Amino acid sequence: MHRPGFWRDRSQNERFTAARCLECGYVCYSEHRQVCKECGATPSEWEDVELAERGTVQAFVVQRRMPEEFETPLPLAVIDVPTTDGESSARVYGHFTETDPDEIEIGMEVEADLRRLFDVEGLPVRSYRFKTPRGGAGR
Amino acid sequence: MVSIAGYGAYVPLYRIERSTIAEQHGSYPSDGELSVPSHDEDHITLGVSAAKEALAHAGVDGEALDAVYVASVSDPFDEHGLAPHVAYAVGAGGDVRVADMEGSPRAATTAVQTARDAVETGAVETALVVATDILSASPGSSVERTAGAGAGALVLGRDGDVADVSRMTTETTGFVGRFAVGGRDAVEGDATFNREEGYLDAVPCAVGRLTNGEAPVDADHAALPAPDDGWGDRALGALDIGAERHGTFDSVGYVGAASVLLDGIAAIEAADPGDRLLLASYGPGGSDALLLQAADGAATAPETTLREYIDDKEYVTYAKHRKYREMAGGGA
């Protein structure tokens, strides 16, 4: 069955929905939102915004030791992802998939794709991972 | 008339050559290659990728969907479902109709037929049909040399400009050739008997009904997937149809329910506006045939075409193919 946390985060995980602070417009993705970390509004009020499925790598590290369900070496990156309305962007911390760590560069464009992260009691938990955009032939 | 407003394909990045598999087991090598799902892919992620491609191609927002039908022959769950999760991920509202069609590769055309009927009656304005499969294959089995993974999707409505759905027919025989017991390797049986008594009975019957059995079907392109690549040409020969057959058997493999949509999309991508396309599914129970007429929108490609998904690939070793396949739910 859905565990409460995964059920509540389903829109972030499966629809790549972020939250925009109604006070200052800051967009945050995948965080608990009692306080806006940009303007400090408490309690903060938010609206849902959709993220585009393309972003730009700002920084990355490569993890070599991870729990069994993660394939290593696993690049983890900070990626700026614009909202679909183009008004702002969220700074997203995400996993890569299908990408050789040597190919990752700061400033590269990446594509977000729904993937299965792990299972909880046999029930898959899916969320977005990043990769080199598909469509270019001859890797 | 009910029409296709958009289409989308998804083929995983990884490939293994059939000869690599044969070499591993000391068996006779054959041509072509198979798509291999990534370790973090499953039926739903594949289906969602194809569905998003199709919705973007149709210019339809997920919220506008009235129905989402998902077909598969390899869904690992007995109780869980595919369609509600695909529908949610693409942004459909809570009032969306959903159904999973399973049990035969024919399920893909059952889904198209159900969507078409619903649009025709006016009960549904816009429907999304998805077929997604990761076929199971154990190491060294004969089905390991054909098992592929992929998904295809169509958006159906009343004013789609990609193709008109001119006619749909069906032939239910009850014949069972290839079959599979939940999660295990498919049992293939006698190929000649299955082809002659099963495939070449059901498919020509279903296709013949498109013209009430009178003249041969007039088609420029055809998609006739089967678990064996040679069967489609035999059906065209038996029916005296000169259409060019498009297939993904050599580049993706056999993909169960997804094959008829992937091959159909290959046909649409090759078609010019005005061309006629014949699609026929086949599986345990019979065959459904579908006649399409490409319209002006057929000339506009989706953001990433099937051809691009096929060409953009990375080969994996036999060991990685096994590991990824097992993680993605196609291990058997």
Predicted ipTM of the assembly: 0.94
- What value does the CA radius of gyration of chain A take, rounded to a whole number of Å? 16
pTM, two decimals, is: 0.97
Structure tokens at B8: 């989308």
B13 and B150 part of one domain: yes
B127-134 and B67-72 strand pairing? parallel
Structure tokens at B114: 């159900």
Structure tokens at B287: 């065959």
Chain A: closest CA distance from residue B194 (Å): 36
Q: Which of residues 20-59 of A touch B (CB under 8 A)?
A: 53
B219 and B103 part of one domain: no
Calpha distance B188→B48 (Å, rounded): 30
The answer to whether the CB atoms of A139 and B308 lie below 8 A apart is: no
pLDDT of residue B330: 75
For residue A15, which residues of chain B lie inside 8 Å, CB to CB?
88-89, 91
Report the SS3 class of residue B221: strand
**Option in B39, B89, B305 nearest A114 (CB):** B89
Least confident range of B1-10, B118-127, B181-190, B265-274: B181-190
**Option in B52, B309, B312 nearest A139 (CB):** B312
* Tens digit of each residue's pLDDT (9 = 90 or more) over A83-121: 999 999 999 999 999 999 999 999 999 999 999 999 999
B26 and B147 part of one domain: yes
For residue A136, which residues of chain B lie inside 8 Å, CB to CB?
308, 312
Report the SS3 class of residue B202: helix
B112 and B220 part of one domain: no
The answer to whether the CB atoms of B40 and A116 lie below 8 A apart is: yes
Number of domains in chain B: 2
Q: Is the pLDDT of residue A54 over 80?
A: yes
**Option in A114, A116, A134 nearest B13 (CB):** A134
pLDDT of residue A69: 79
B272 and B144 part of one domain: no
A121 touches chain B (CB under 8 A): no
Q: Is the pLDDT of residue B39 over 60?
A: yes
B114 and B61 part of one domain: yes
Largest CA distance in chain B: 56
pLDDT of residue A30: 82
Calpha distance B52→A120 (Å, rounded): 26
B237 and B143 part of one domain: no
Mutate to test the interface with A, among B15, B40, B43, B63 (most CBs of A within 10 A): B40
B34 and B15 part of one domain: yes
Provide the domain limits for residue B29: 3-161+301-328
* Tens digit of each residue's pLDDT (9 = 90 or more) over B199-239: 999 999 999 999 998 889 999 999 999 999 899 999 999 99
**Option in A97, A98, A137 nearest B311 (CB):** A137
Domain boundaries, chain A: 4-128
Nearest chain B residue to A100 by CA distance is B314
B122 and B180 part of one domain: no
Calpha distance B5→B125 (Å, rounded): 12
B217 and B106 part of one domain: no
**Option in A53, A71, A135 nearest B308 (CB):** A135
Residues sharing a CB contact under 8 Å with residue A94, sequence separation 6 or more, in sequence order:
A76, A77, A79, A112, A128, A129, A130
The answer to whether the CB atoms of B85 and A14 lie below 8 A apart is: yes
User: Concatenated DSSP letters for chain A?
Assistant: ---HHHHHTHHHHHH-EEEEETTT--EE-SS--SS-TTT--SS--EEEEEBPSEEEEEEEEEE----TTS-SSEEEEEEEEEBTTSS-EEEEEEEB-S--GGG--TT-EEEEEEEEEEEETTEEEEEEEEEPPTT----
B69 and B184 part of one domain: no
B98 and B231 part of one domain: no
* Cβ atoms A85, A94 nearer than 8 A: no
CATH code at position B237: 3.40.47.10
Calpha distance B131→B268 (Å, rounded): 16
